[in-house]
Amino acid sequence: MNVFLKNKIENSISNFNFNSGLSLDALPVEEKGELMEQSRIIKIPRKAVLYSEGEPPKGIYILMNGKIKISQLNFDGSVQILFIYTTGEVFGHRPLLGNDKHPVTATALADSEVVFIEKDQFLKVIERSPRFSALIMQSISHEFTILVNRINIFAQRGIKERLALFLLILNETYKVPGQMSEEGEITINRNDLAGYTGTSVENLVRTLKTFKENNYIRTMGKSIYITDFEALYALSGV
């Protein structure tokens, strides 16, 4: 894939996904140190729940390695996956700041490790550091924009288009950082992918099949690899 197209696609995708929206790397050393001094590491095995919908938030989390899915349960029992976080991403801070209970459930998709920072510690550092406040406002505002874009996708596009877009997003999520290849191994299972796309498993499988027949993707076991980025990009209509 030529580099111009690659950039164009990544650029568009970034309007619908906020991997590393909030990075503590941009923080001055003092604030970062202060945050980290009370932190501890939590291990979450695959399928374990980090927090559940309805719980009061206890602190914020930074994902060190693994994958965490953020999902919401419907009254009818169906599950919608909203985000999948990967290494380096910060989460759990928004309900803390907004005085909400957790609106979502966080579950490990793979064995994961997170750094946990206590609510009080986090709020204390924020209060003292305008720099940190500004960083958070910037990140959440940007993420707000991204969610608005997503609502549009869900309200207006069919499953083919949505899946095309989410595969491109997942490729970003699953590709190995620092590696030149733009192709990631998407290891999410069909049920979760259906919940992410907002459809049933059967429909998801059928759509994947047509993508395979068109050589947009290929599969090995349960893993999915994108073979034609441009086609998916065109299909997603973004």
Partner DNA sequence: CGCCGTATTGAGCGCTCTCAACGAGGGTGG
Partner DNA sequence: CCACCCTCGTTGAGAGCGCTCAATACGGCG
Q: DSSP code of 55?
A: P
Per-residue binder mask for a copy of itself (CB under 8 A), 11-50, x = binder: ----x-----------------------------------
How many angstroms separate the CA atoms of 63 and 57, rounded? 16
The type of residue at 172 is E
The residue among 161, 158, 150, 56 whose CA lies nearest residue 98 is 56
CA 25, 176, 157: angle at the middle one, nearest 5?
95
Judging by DSSP bridges, how do beta strands 223-226 and 40-44 pair with one another? Answer: unpaired
- Residue 200 contacts which entry, a copy of itself, DNA, none (Cβ below 5-8 A, type-dependent): DNA
Candidates 33-41, 58-66, 151-159, 212-220: pick the segment binding a copy of itself (CB under 8 A): 151-159
- Residue 201 contacts which entry, a copy of itself, DNA, none (Cβ below 5-8 A, type-dependent): DNA
Per CB under 7 A, 222 contacts DNA? yes
The residue among 62, 103, 47 whose CA lies nearest residue 80 is 103
Binding-site size, DNA (CB under 7 A) = 19
Nearer to DNA by C-beta: 80 or 87? 80
- Applying CB under 7 A, the residues found at the interface with DNA are 158-160, 189-191, 198-203, 205-206, 208-209, 219, 221-222
